[in-house]
């Protein structure tokens, strides 16, 4: 099924998940790599081509901390991208997905309906009381990807403090996001030019960009109403800050994590691992 065919099948949640993946990969061609490193290796699945040796190395460290049946908080979960990739590595994991976007949460709720291992929660991460909406007081791991750059530094630092209060002692927090090193403008410029060239090639092959994807969602009989509410909350798009890796690591340590360091990076993105 192509993106253009989605509206002919009401509430085809798997099709919407795959369409969201393609749209996100338009911006982030190495998107699956950060998930492999975050979650580890395993047999091939519909969502990822598991088996990177780097993934096994990174996951060996994380699994040693959280075990094989972790309680996970999928922070700013969107459609549940991280949660959807958990069963291949952690079939006994439980996941709480928290987000504010009504349309993306509708896809997540539809995708995981009937799965008692997954519980989507609606909450605004800028609300200081959002942790009270969660079903658990603590988690083995809090995971997030390409989401927290919507926040500016001050609310992001506050959020890190709240996350530190949710991660159990010895648990982990992993954030894969845009973290720009302003000291390397030529490298940044070269990466940006290459990425935009790839995006243009993908667009010519029919892949939907951000604006086109949301236009399609707005026409869907099930997603039209939550998409309208989503625009009332966010507007078209809202970027916050993209501080450096060093800023993230320093603030995480200041907010209660014992260790924090990158375990993967590209010229524009980093996967940061912090241990409570």
Are residues 62 and 47 in contact, defined by beta-carbon separation less than 8 angstroms? no
* 3-class SS of residue 215: helix
Digit-coded pLDDT (tens) for 252-268: 999 999 999 999 988 78
Provide the whole-model pTM. Answer: 0.87
Q: Which long-range contacts (CB under 8 A, 24 or more apart) does 205-213 make?
A: 206/2, 206/3, 207/3, 207/22, 207/23, 207/25, 207/26, 208/3, 208/19, 208/22, 208/23, 208/26, 209/23, 209/26, 210/23, 210/27, 210/237, 211/236, 213/3, 213/19, 213/20, 213/23
Q: Which long-range contacts (CB under 8 A, 24 or more apart) does 110-113 make?
A: 110/11, 110/13, 110/16, 110/222, 111/13, 111/14, 111/16, 111/17, 111/79, 111/80, 111/84, 112/80, 112/83
**What values do phi and psi take at 270, rounded to 5?**
-140, 145
pLDDT surpassing 80 at residue 213: yes
Q: Cα dihedral sign for 115, 108, 137, 272?
A: positive
Cα gap 133→219, rounded to integer Å? 31
Task: Give the residue with greater pLDDT, 6 vs 158.
Answer: 158
List Cβ neighbours of 127 (8 Å cut-off, separation of 6 or more).
Answer: none
Specify the range with the lowest mean pLDDT, choosing from 54-63, 94-103, 113-122, 129-138. 54-63
Residue 184 pLDDT level (bands cut at 50, 70, 90): confident
Are residues 89 and 67 in contact, defined by beta-carbon separation less than 8 angstroms? no
What is the CB neighbour count within 10 angstroms for residue 247? 15
The CA–CA distances, whole Å, from 193 to 52, 266, 268 equal 27, 14, 12
Q: What is the dihedral of CA 171, 175, 181, 187, to 10 degrees?
A: 120
Rg (CA), the chain: 18
pLDDT surpassing 50 at residue 62: yes
Residue 64 pLDDT level (bands cut at 50, 70, 90): low
Digit-coded pLDDT (tens) for 78-128: 999 999 998 888 889 999 999 999 999 999 999 999 999 999 999 999 999
pLDDT surpassing 70 at residue 29: yes
Q: What is the pLDDT of residue 198?
A: 79
Task: Give the residue with greater pLDDT, 47 vs 89.
Answer: 89
Q: What is the pLDDT of residue 58?
A: 42
User: In this structure, what DSSP letter does residue 5 have?
Assistant: G
Q: What is the pLDDT of residue 73?
A: 97
Report the percentage of the chain scoring pLDDT > 70. 86
């Amino acid at each position: 099924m192509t993106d253009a065919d989605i509206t002919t099948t009401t509430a085809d949640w798997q099709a919407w998940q795959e369409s969201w993946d393609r749209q996100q990969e338009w911006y982030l061609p190495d998107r699956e790599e950060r998930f492999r490193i975050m979650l580890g290796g395993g047999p091939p699945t519909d969502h990822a081509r598991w088996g990177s040796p780097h993934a096994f190395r990174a996951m060996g460290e994380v699994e040693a901390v959280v075990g094989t049946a972790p309680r996970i908080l999928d922070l700013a979960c969107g459609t549940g991208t991280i949660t959807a990739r958990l069963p291949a590595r952690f079939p006994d994991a439980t996941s709480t997905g928290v987000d504010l976007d009504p349309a993306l949460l509708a896809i997540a709720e539809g995708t995981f309906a009937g799965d008692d291992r997954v519980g989507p929660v609606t909450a605004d991460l800028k609300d200081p009381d959002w942790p009270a909406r969660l079903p658990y007081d603590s988690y083995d791991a809090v995971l997030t990807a390409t989401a927290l750059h919507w926040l500016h530094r001050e609310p992001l630092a506050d959020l890190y403090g709240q996350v530190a209060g949710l991660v159990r002692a010895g648990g982990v927090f992993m954030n894969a996001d845009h973290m720009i090193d302003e000291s390397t403008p030529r490298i940044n410029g070269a990466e940006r030019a290459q990425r935009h060239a790839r995006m243009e090639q993908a667009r010519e092959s029919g892949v939907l960009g951000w604006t086109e994807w949301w236009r399609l969602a707005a026409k869907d009989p099930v997603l039209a109403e939550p998409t309208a509410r989503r625009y009332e909350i966010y507007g078209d798009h809202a970027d916050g800050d993209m501080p450096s890796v060093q800023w993230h690591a320093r603030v995480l340590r200041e907010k209660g994590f014992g260790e924090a360091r990158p375990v993967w990076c590209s010229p524009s993105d980093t996967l940061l691992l912090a241990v409570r």
